[in-house]
Amino acid sequence: MSRLSVLTCPKCGAEASHAVVGQPHKCVYCGTVATVKASSPAVRQPAAGVAHPHGSTLPLLLGCGGLVVAALAVGGVFLGSSSQGAEQSPPSGTSLGAELPPDVAESPTEPQLEQAVQPAPPPPVTRRIRSAPAALYEDLDGDGAFEIIAYVERVEGADRSERFAVFDSQTGAVRVETPAVTLGREPMAARVGTRVVVAGERGQLEAYDLGSGDRQWSSTLGDRALALCAAGRDDAVRVSTADERMLEVDLITGRQTEVRARCEHRLARSDRGLHDPSDRSDAQAPPGVEAYVCGSTRVMGSSNYVVPDACLRQGHVDSNGLDGMVAHRIWRLDHAWLVMGVRKPGAYVPMVGVLTGRSFRWKSEVPATNPLDASQGGPRYAAVVGDAVVVSYEMDTERTYWLTAFALEDGRRRWATGVATEASLHGLASRGDGLFAHVGNRILVLDPATGATLRSVGDE
């Protein structure tokens, strides 16, 4: 009788009934792929069982209602029977081996560890510096380097909010950030001691700690604030309101007290046109500098009156009677006046000069190139840093904002540089030996000696 060989899967033991010698076969139960190859004769090992009439011994297994002879072969399992009367030699059968041809992928015989899923990185945070209220430049820790306190739009993924942030002007890093703040149009902000005090369009007044960013209190004024004024101490601020009250606010508790006082030293002012029209001081001047906006103005409404020219009345500078120039603003510099205005007669080219007594020590057209390429009108922004004055102008031909520096002593032009082509110039300030230009959504820290940009604070 011929011998019957049954092939099984080397992994799960399932029957491989359709396997062909020399061809890869895939187990229908576990998916293992293996190749059927001819096996070499195997030497039978004696096993305990039923004695064969000719002396060989076969194990006795109970299955499928009969005797099953099992013999191990290389890579396979054989089941067979033999005729009685003669001992049969091991058959030259076939086996299901594990060798694969190069083009057949072998399934892994051991479970594979799944790669750990990495959490998605948090979305980047951007802070765009708003143009109002104007940024504050304060030395908060007394190290001589000025921090930047700015009202920013904070964007993190789909989350947007407005808040105040304190930037390190030396590195651009954020030191402190307040919770979300809603101020509306034309907000005001001033630093008083260790706090920033902010006023919104709906008459709210709030205080935030500059060390931690925490909101300390919130109070309602009852009307819009027109100005924030110094109260003479770091734990109070005075607020001028549209209903003609002066409130002194305790910065520890937020408690309000109405007082009879004038705003002797203004810290911030509203630009909504609600301030006293008789106030002709120039809010763009450096803190503590006597400065005036020139020209008289007529007020018409519930009361009609004329506000005289403050440059002539307080500064004794005849804004219309100067040699070759009409003054728009004047700033006190020791015993002289820094004058900014336009050329006279001719096109209104921006000009700057230093006036001593009734005569100019020097005066100059502001544009560094063809003056007729610049926008007409007096310099909009200016800053005094060290022994120089830096003024801004705009080139009509390029729609570019430029800054240029003049020596205060003799008017020699030191440098001129373009700072913004696609963005607007919102402000120019100096503190100590630092020069800052608010351009678009950023503040540029400039080198006063060359006008070069040292670093950028804020994001586009």
| Residue 216 in this model has a pLDDT that exceeds 60 | yes
354 Cβ contact list (under 8 Å, min separation 6): 333, 336, 337, 338, 339, 360, 361, 362, 363, 408, 411
| Residue 61 in this model has a pLDDT that exceeds 90 | no
Q: Which residues of 102-138 are buried (b: 16+ CB within 10 A; e: fewer)?
A: eeeeeeeeeeeeeeeeeeeeeeeeebbbbeebbbbbe
Q: What is the pLDDT of residue 384?
A: 95
Written as six digits, the tokens of 117 are 């899923």
pTM: 0.71
| Residue 439 in this model has a pLDDT that exceeds 60 | yes
| Residue 178 in this model has a pLDDT that exceeds 60 | yes
Binned at pLDDT 50, 70 and 90, residue 287 comes out as confident
pLDDT above 70 covers what percent of the chain? 78
Whole-number Å distance between alpha carbons of 250 and 231: 10
The region of weakest confidence among 113-122, 144-153, 185-194, 448-457 is 113-122
Question: Is residue 368 classed exposed, middle or buried when 0-12, 13-18 and 19+ CB atoms within 10 A define those classes?
Answer: middle
**Mean pLDDT confidence for 160-176:** 94
Q: What is the pLDDT of residue 98?
A: 47
pLDDT above 90 covers what percent of the chain? 52
**Mean pLDDT confidence for 40-58:** 45
pLDDT in tens, 339-395: 999 999 999 999 999 999 889 999 999 999 999 999 999 999 999 999 999 999 999
